[in-house]
Amino acid sequence: MKMNSLQQKIFYLKNRLFRPQSLRWEQEFLHDSELDGEARSALIFSRMRHIVRCAWENSAFYRRKYRAAGLEDGIIRSRADFEQLPPLEKDDLRNYADEIVNNTIPAGRRRLSTTGGSTGIPVKVYHDRRLPLDVVGWHVVRMFGGDISDNAAFLARYNPHKSVLPVNQLMWFPTRRCFLDVSLIRPGDWEEYYRRCLKNSPRYLQGYVGAIEEFAGFLSGHSLRLPSLRFVWTTAAPLSESSRAFMENVFNCPVYSQYGCCEIFHLACECVDKEMHYFDTIRHFEAVDPAGRLLPENQSGELLVTDLLNEVFPLIRYRNGDRIRILDRKCSCGSKFPLIDKVQGRTTDVIRFPDGSCVPGDFLTTIFDHAPRGRTAVSGGSASGLFFDDPLCSGFRTVGRRGGGVLRPAAPEIFRNRVAGQRRGGVRNCQRPGKNPVYCERGGGGGQ
Ligand SMILES: [Zn+2]
């Protein structure tokens, strides 16, 4: 790879010294991404076979499930065998996570990731700490014409805590990165963030699409510009064409979309031609009809996605709830990763409070994965709390960090108790005539 800047050279030198596995893995990923036809297909099938065998040998859940489906020895001999395997459902993750996990791998190699919580039982998965998956992000940034060592700005939920921020900054030095935790945006935050952006000259902005659109709204409303930006990389929810057009106008650079889910990161990403490519060498996609039959290319169906790499917690033919269409055409950008149509699934909006605070809905999407369709409605909230019409969706309140900036699900029983009238101090009923009750929690965040 040609190194253009000192910043880039320092970044890769540091990785060579302290994370050599990331560079090795990057080479392998790039090599695989260039494979054609038979060789690519053979690599993908060998990974499918390996992950099924790994699941069979090390996970009581899969062995039981696959044996019941007629698999005798944990070995798939063809793609047709693979396509016969029963899908993995969200309920399976909820009920059997402890049996899915590969116990032969030391617990220290697992990184817990939970999503959801609307039913009180979050979906739990583990990722493999040894896999330097952030390298896929390096590839994505390069695809957009930048480099991961470029100065960047972030608008997401997970940011380095202020206690570790200096370490994070030192690790990345001389690359400058500025963050804003967007789980709750308070009045004045945008202005302060904009000033930091101006100081750090980010070449790209990455984060939740709703949050970035809010920021664009702020800039547009105040006739401000961020001239250093070369592209914007949105995540967490589909990007509508109207939002894209608005943001491209404000930021004066291209805006791209990435597709992923909390259970499996880095599923797909747009290229410079704004076509969505999925990373087939590490994630296997199938579109199926309601009966579970595989659909041909160009037909829209439910996505079954297989993480071809995660041996710690195998996710095989996982139905994540999104609908996709795998396309048979090639993209003019030259990438060999296959194309999918715009993902149909989650959309979000911003929740605004009368005091001027707002919560971009992006990160709330997974919380409602399991809520009955059409039953999730915000019934009330304030900068310190947010509650929903349906007790099934439980209550959410802000806790801890950054002066009460992170929304966490409150224990559903607590919320139900409150609904049942056993309200304790600090909670008030803002009942509106003829409408569902609204419960707001007053005062600061505090733990739960
Ligand atoms: Zn392309």
* pLDDT, tens digit, 9 for 90 and up, residues 318-374: 998 888 999 999 999 999 999 999 776 544 445 565 566 665 544 444 444 333 333
Residuewise pLDDT in 10s, the chain (448 residues): 666 788 888 888 888 888 889 999 999 999 999 999 999 999 999 999 999 999 999 999 999 999 999 999 999 999 999 999 999 998 899 899 999 999 899 999 999 887 644 444 568 899 999 998 889 999 999 999 999 999 999 998 766 777 777 887 788 888 999 999 887 788 889 999 999 999 999 999 999 888 899 999 999 999 999 999 999 999 877 888 888 999 999 999 999 999 988 889 899 999 999 999 999 999 999 999 988 999 999 999 999 999 999 999 999 999 988 889 999 999 999 999 999 997 765 444 455 655 666 655 444 444 443 333 333 344 444 444 444 444 433 444 333 333 333 333 333 333 333 333 323 333 333 333 333 333 333 222 322 2
3-state secondary structure (DSSP) of residue 233:
strand
Q: pLDDT value at position 304?
A: 96
CB atoms within 10 A of CB 342: 16
Ligand 1 centroid to Cα of residue 259, in Å, is 14
Nearest by Cα to 60 from 292, 314, 310: 314
CA distance 288 to 340: 14
Q: pLDDT value at position 322?
A: 86
Q: pLDDT value at position 1?
A: 60
Ligand 1 centroid to Cα of residue 332, in Å, is 6
CA distance 166 to 172: 10
- Would you list the DSSP string of 336-371? -SPEEPPPBS----EEE-TTS-EEEGGGGGGGGTTS
Q: pLDDT value at position 387?
A: 47
CA distance 343 to 243: 16
Q: pLDDT value at position 369?
A: 38
Residues 6+ apart with CB under 8 A from 149: 5, 7, 8, 10, 11, 12, 175
Which residue pairs from 53-56 have beta carbons closer than 8 angstroms and sit at least 24 positions apart in sequence? 54/102, 54/311, 54/314, 55/102, 55/314, 55/316
Pairing between β-strand 406-409 and β-strand 283-288 as defined by DSSP bridges = unpaired
Q: pLDDT value at position 12?
A: 87
Nearest by Cα to 28 from 127, 119, 122, 131: 131
Ligand 1 centroid to Cα of residue 141, in Å, is 14
List residues bridging with 13 in a β-sheet: none
Ligand 1 centroid to Cα of residue 26, in Å, is 20
CB atoms within 10 A of CB 380: 23
Q: pLDDT value at position 222?
A: 96
Detail the DSSP E strand segments found in 192-317.
204-208, 231-235, 255-259, 268-270, 276-278, 283-288, 300-307
3-state secondary structure (DSSP) of residue 273:
coil
Residues 6+ apart with CB under 8 A from 343: 238, 259, 268, 276, 322, 323, 324
Ligand 1 centroid to Cα of residue 327, in Å, is 12
Ligand 1 centroid to Cα of residue 426, in Å, is 53
Structure tokens at 28: 């392998």
Ligand 1 centroid to Cα of residue 269, in Å, is 9
CA distance 31 to 281: 10
Ligand 1 centroid to Cα of residue 335, in Å, is 6
Ligand 1 centroid to Cα of residue 45, in Å, is 24
Q: pLDDT value at position 276?
A: 95
CB burial readout 122-142, b (16+ within 10 A) else e: bbbbbbbeebbbebbbbbbbe
Structure tokens at 405: 């900036």
3-state secondary structure (DSSP) of residue 170:
helix
* pLDDT, tens digit, 9 for 90 and up, residues 263-310: 898 999 999 999 999 999 999 999 999 889 999 999 999 999 999 999
Ligand 1 centroid to Cα of residue 330, in Å, is 8
Q: pLDDT value at position 344?
A: 62
List residues bridging with 111 in a β-sheet: 127
**Angle formed at CA 79 by CA 74 and CA 83, multiple of 5 degrees:** 75
CA distance 251 to 216: 7
Asked if 131 and 18 touch (Cβ cutoff 8 Å), the reply is: no
Structural domains in the chain plus CATH codes = 1-345 (3.40.50.12780), 371-441 (no CATH)
3-state secondary structure (DSSP) of residue 171:
helix
List residues bridging with 428 in a β-sheet: 440
CA distance 230 to 254: 7
Ligand 1 centroid to Cα of residue 260, in Å, is 17
Q: pLDDT value at position 217?
A: 93
Rg over CA atoms, the chain: 23
Report if pTM > 0.95: no
CA distance 200 to 145: 19
- Would you list the DSSP string of 320-339? EEEEEEB--SPPTT---SPE
